[in-house]
Amino acid sequence: MADLFRNRSFVFLLLGQTASGLGGTFATFIMSWLVYELTGSLVAMGSIWVTQMVPSLITQLWSGPYLDRWDRKKVMVVSEWLRAIAFLIPTITFSIGELHVWHLYVTAIMIGIAEPLFRPSSMAFVAEILPKDRLNKGNSLLEGSMQVMFLIGPPLGGVILQWLGAQAVLLLLVGVMGVAGLVLLYLPNKQVTLSETKETWWKQFKAGLKFYRINPVLLGVGLLLMMANFTNGAISPMFLPYVTEILGGGPIQYGLFTSFFSVGMILASLVMGMTKEPENRRKVMLGSMMIIGLCMASLGFVSSFPFAILFIAITGFCMIVFNINNTTMYQRTVPNELRGRVFAVRILLAQAGMPVGAFIGGVIAEAWSIPSLFNIMGGFVVIVTIISFFLPVFHHLNSKNSTAVNMEKVKKRA
């Protein structure tokens, strides 16, 4: 591990990504708080997430096939500085007492465009600056730093908000993202190697679709992720009113509540790293999804803050267990020459449900109540998971070789 810190490029990437992660947690925290303060509307809480997620989804799908053709260092720097510029809008308007909710919607659109460019560029850049035998350690350190920021960011934001006010959070947010861009400028410039064959975006995307037709188990898991993200998109915007209205908390409690999701994720990462790969991946993955649904539903029945953070931590733990097994399956199945195209479709499946969920969640919470929303969404996850246990396609999760691809078959269909 010490040799990674002697790699100057890796250190600057680690610092830049850590600052980016901290800025991202501040952004989620303060956007939710300002929208709720300005409107008091649960529908508005959901719609601001929709406003960010729709351009984010479009950007991810459009940029996927082209990111390999762009200078990744410049993409990361532009992404951070565009986010900093976006948050100058509420920072300035708030300081002069002219902040309106439409300013936050404009900010959300800009964030949705800029944010999806950073992560894939960062992951690809790591492979360029580290030898293959150090990639696993390097990725673990980068992912760990992000989770730590997700852990400390929300409660830190809550403390600053309660003691110094929203203006201080906004100023710190703009500063952190600006500094992240500056740090990333010190990364070395890498020569971009262009493929001799230039395929259209649609042709590359269509090849990804055909891969899922050949490997239906990946499609099944992708649809499960869509369902999970649909429910997550529905309940996540309601966390702030849930903490303040149902649990009787304030900014600090809201920060702690959201950070405990990361506590569960960090614990799961440690456990998965120290244990062997499960022999029955089907039971582990579907069992994790079942627990996620039960925890979601349980949040609707509790009014105690300790129980609430326990359930949200368990949710984060199970989500990482599901995602790590899912990622491992993809790494073993998808060949290098199809990875970008297949992952573009994966992004569509995983995130397409989030904006719809955010809108529907706001409507349900407004019409009935926040606890009812948690009960409904949690119950939906449980029902879908029970059905999945009986579907033959998910039995292939237990076979390491069942999803192996006949490359000649794929090439002919592509």
User: pLDDT per residue over 223-254, tens digit each?
Assistant: 888 888 889 888 988 888 899 889 998 878 88
**Domain covering 198-414 in this structure, CATH number:** 1.20.1250.20
Distance CA 157, CA 277 (A): 37
Of the two residues 313 and 3, the one the predictor is more confident about is 313
Overall pTM surpassing 0.75 (yes/no): no
Percent of the chain beyond pLDDT 90?
25
Using 50, 70 and 90 to split pLDDT, how confident is the model at 343?
low
pLDDT at 156: 83
Tokens of 203: 């042709």
Domain-wise residue ranges, the chain: 8-187, 198-414
Answer for the pair 266, 355: CB distance below 8 angstroms, yes or no. Answer: no
**Domain covering 8-187 in this structure, CATH number:** 1.20.1250.20
pLDDT at 24: 83
DSSP 8-state assignment for residue 276:
P
- Tokens 């998109």 identify what position? 233
Q: In whole angstroms, how far apart are CA 113 and each of 51, 54, 201, 370?
A: 11, 9, 18, 30
Tokens of 320: 């990482």
Of the two residues 72 and 301, the one the predictor is more confident about is 301
Apex 49 CA angle, 183 and 326, nearest 5: 75
- For residue 58, how many C-alpha atoms fall within 13 Å in the half-sphere facing its CB? 12
